[in-house]
Amino acid sequence: MEPAAKQKVIYITYLVAALDITWLFLQFSITPYLARRLGFDTIWFGYLQTTVGVIQLLGGPIYGRFADVFGARAALSVSCLASVVYFLLLAVADNTFMLFVHKLPAVFMHVLPGAQMVVADLSENEKRADALGKLGLCFGIGMIAGSSLGGTLSTQKGSSNSVFNLGEITRLMKFPGVAKTFTVKIISGLPAGIFQVMFSIIAINFFQLKAEQNGYLMAYFGIVQMVIQGAVIGRLTSRFSESSLLMLSVGISSLVGLAQAMMTNVFHFCLIVIPMMFSLSVFNVITDSMLTKSVSPSDTGTMLGLCASVQSLLRTVGPTIGGFLYEAYGVPSFGYIQCIINAAVFSFLLNTGGRSQPNRP
């Protein structure tokens, strides 16, 4: 494709991603309140979140391989269709059974990874982190629009061509540096993932926020993330190495955990959001960029599918672990765990010299 044609496709992909994230965060905002109205307690809401995590954990690798075999366009089409079914089922979910059933199409709902596949395929190596960061800008826009709208609505109402091939996934892990970066992505991301899946409960019970206030807070998240991913990450990636930025994000995440452990009200949390979103945004963009550069172009879809599965894994184990920590030790426990784990990961990266893998073969 000509450079102009590639850029046009990337812009369209940004638009699709922004719209999808808008609807996704809209339902993120209203689901906790809908669950409460249907009689869900904290434990059952945790089961609901775990169900979503399990479904997407199973679907992530399959989706990634599907994209490699049939192309990113087909994968995006399937994801968009799944989203349509998902929201139609949510519209008629008036009991606990239907609230669980409407989560089933989430197995194919991977629009953001699909968009990342397109951007990764069409962008040059040296511009990939910046292009993925721009995609994060769309994420921020969708978060703002979806969270604000959701808060308002809540107040008113087997072979090489096989789609799933475990051997292919194992092969990717053997590329130099991939296993290390992937492990860091899981371990370092676990504490933040637990906090994120429990945040709706923390907002209601700890911060005592109403639905509309929670929507404003999520919109604030989106504004911060939009500024960071749209105006900051691109400049950082052009001046500093990916290994340095990875260590920076992990180090800041450790300090953010300590601050979370000490916060007592929503004002404190609003101050913490800025470094928290910075570390999360840089960490996710840099690890995705490093992993896709470490494999061949034909494997970027599978790799990004695996990256999406990390988030699904965190949503799977997060509600169970988070529910236990919240009931037994309170909100500060999330911060202390994040501080300790990321401090350990930072020390590991420092001792091993950060990134050791070469660019993709």
- Percentage of the chain exceeding pLDDT 70: 81
Residue 239 has pLDDT above 80, yes or no: yes
Six token digits for residue 275: 């470094």
Between 319 and 5, whose confidence is greater?
Answer: 5
Residue 166 has pLDDT above 80, yes or no: no
- What is the biggest distance separating any 2 CA atoms in the chain, rounded to whole angstroms? 58
In 3-state terms the chain splits into helix, strand, coil percentages (rounded to 5) of 85, 0, 15
Stretch 43-72: mean pLDDT, rounded? Answer: 76
Residue where the block lists tokens 């349509």: 84
Residue 356: CB atoms within 10 Å:
11
Q: Which of 62, 60, 39 is nearest to 316 (CA)?
A: 60
5 CB-near residues (< 8 Å, 6+ apart)? none
pLDDT band at 116; cut points 50, 70, 90:
confident
From 6-15, 23-32, 66-75, 158-167, the region with the lowest mean pLDDT: 158-167
Residue 92 has pLDDT above 80, yes or no: yes
Calculated CA dihedral for residues 273, 275, 276, 279, nearest 10 degrees? 150
Residue 201 CA to residue 342 CA, distance in Å, equals 24
Residue 312 CA to residue 309 CA, distance in Å, equals 5
Confidence at residue 80, expressed as pLDDT on a 0 to 100 scale:
86
Whether the model clears a pTM of 0.85, i.e. scores above it, the answer is no
Stretch 230-245: mean pLDDT, rounded? Answer: 83
Q: Which of 90, 84, 88, 136 is nearest to 108 (CA)?
A: 84
Six token digits for residue 57: 């954990």
Burial of 287 (0-12, 13-18, 19+ CB in 10 A): buried
186 CB-near residues (< 8 Å, 6+ apart)? 310, 313
CA 52 distance to own-chain centroid: 13
166 CB-near residues (< 8 Å, 6+ apart)? none
Stretch 248-269: mean pLDDT, rounded? Answer: 92
From 38-52, 145-159, 226-240, the region with the lowest mean pLDDT: 145-159
Six token digits for residue 214: 């929670």
Residue 56 CA to residue 62 CA, distance in Å, equals 10
| Whole-number average pLDDT of the chain | 79
Contact 255/358 with Cβ under 8 angstroms?
no
Stretch 238-249: mean pLDDT, rounded? Answer: 88
Contact 74/112 with Cβ under 8 angstroms?
no
From 51-55, 72-76, 313-317, the region with the lowest mean pLDDT: 313-317
Residue 113 CA to residue 185 CA, distance in Å, equals 16
Residue 147 has pLDDT above 70, yes or no: no
Residue 332 has pLDDT above 50, yes or no: yes
Contact 267/275 with Cβ under 8 angstroms?
no
Confidence at residue 257, expressed as pLDDT on a 0 to 100 scale:
93
Residue 50 has pLDDT above 80, yes or no: no
Residue 1 has pLDDT above 80, yes or no: no
Residue 69 CA to residue 57 CA, distance in Å, equals 20
For the ranges 131-140, 153-162, 201-210, 275-284, the one whose mean pLDDT is highest: 275-284
Confidence at residue 343, expressed as pLDDT on a 0 to 100 scale:
95
From 56-65, 78-87, 245-254, the region with the lowest mean pLDDT: 56-65
Residue 31 CA to residue 154 CA, distance in Å, equals 9
| 179-222 pLDDT per residue, tens | 888 889 888 888 888 888 778 778 877 888 776 677 778 778 77
